[in-house]
Amino acid sequence: QSILCRLDNEELHSERQLLKEGLLQQVCLPERNSSLDQEDPGHPEIKEEPEELYTSQEGEHLILKEETDTFMVTSTCEESEPNSDQLLSHNCPEPESRDEEESKYSVKCDTCGKTFQCKSNLTKHLRTHTGEKPHSCSICGKGFSQMANLKTHMRIHTGEKPHSCNTCGKRFSHMITLKTHVQNHTGDKPHSCSTCGKRFSRMIHLKTHMRIHTGERPHSCSTCGKRFSQKSTLETHIRIHTGEKPHSCAICGKRFSQMANLKRHMGIHTAHTGDKPNHCNN
């Protein structure tokens, strides 16, 4: 069981390394609410919706962008490719002499000062500074610094989903996605806002939430210059300029630029009559 646990940890940290290399991008997971983005909608009839997080085709073509904090695990030092740079601080074979014992952490990165037990791990770590990516995908050509990261990436193309949820049976191609999914069942929200105390299951959600307090709005409209704290809110705003209305009423066919407006419109059909639809006046 300890071996299985180690393998799961190694894969999780391999996926986190992919985040550093730009593979794992932001996806949608159901954890936003209207308090996430309190902005002027910029249009009298438009209410900017908060970003809805969802996964493409049940969540496996894009992986949620996770914080890239260094995460170390204990493993054995091998000459083969380790799973990620975040595994590089693991144990090497027993030294043969006292001198070797004293110098087991003497392998040091001249760029950042980080120390390693194995020279091979230092070599792989240096790729984070040089940008070297010797392993490339034969299908899409994307490059990776480590073979383990390439193997994890290949699941995007093969559709392999080796990880399943013990609660609902849903399957995932990445361990980090499964761990995030499990929080839907446990309700675990380990990340809290230091300003208002609101809690989140993922650090990236907390970081986005903090923009409410800081006022940061990094996304701007190229047409009118209006700025937004979330990219999805900007995309919704742009529909004001383009006239795009992707959401349509299944009863009367009326179209809307935002799902929230469609839901509000549906009240016309069900008002005072329960589920019995009324005809609406366009």
**What CATH number does the domain containing 124 carry?**
3.30.160.60
In a domain, 210, yes or no: no
The token duo for 49 is: 């919706």
Per-residue pLDDT tens digits for 75-84: 334 433 333 3
In a domain, 123, yes or no: yes
Q: Which residues contact 213 (CB under 8 A, 6 or more apart)?
A: 193, 195, 196
In a domain, 141, yes or no: yes
Per-residue pLDDT tens digits for 170-209: 999 988 889 888 988 998 899 999 999 999 988 888 999 9
d(CA 204, CA 166): 25
Q: Where does the pLDDT of residue 36 fall: very low under 50, low under 70, confident under 90, or very high at 90 and above?
A: very low
In a domain, 182, yes or no: no
Q: Where are the beta strands (DSSP E) in 140-211?
A: 143-144, 163-164, 171-172, 191-192, 199-200
Q: Where does the pLDDT of residue 7 fall: very low under 50, low under 70, confident under 90, or very high at 90 and above?
A: very low
Greatest mean pLDDT among 30-44, 67-81, 243-257 lies in: 243-257
Nearest to 85 by CA among 157, 4, 144, 162: 144
In a domain, 86, yes or no: yes
Q: Which residues contact 13 (CB under 8 A, 6 or more apart)?
A: 71, 73, 83, 84, 86, 87
Average pLDDT over residues 124-131: 90
d(CA 266, CA 224): 31
pLDDT confidence of residue 16: 59
The token duo for 92 is: 């090497």
In a domain, 111, yes or no: yes
pLDDT confidence of residue 280: 52
The token duo for 272 is: 């005072």
In a domain, 7, yes or no: yes
Range of the domain at 12: 2-25+63-155
* Mean predicted lDDT score pLDDT of the chain: 71
The better pLDDT of the pair 111, 19 is held by 111
pLDDT confidence of residue 103: 52
Residue 5 has pLDDT above 90, yes or no: no
Q: What's the pTM?
A: 0.44
In a domain, 125, yes or no: yes
Residues forming beta bridges with residue 248, ordered by sequence position? 255
Total structural domains within the chain: 1
pLDDT confidence of residue 235: 92
Residue 213 has pLDDT above 50, yes or no: yes
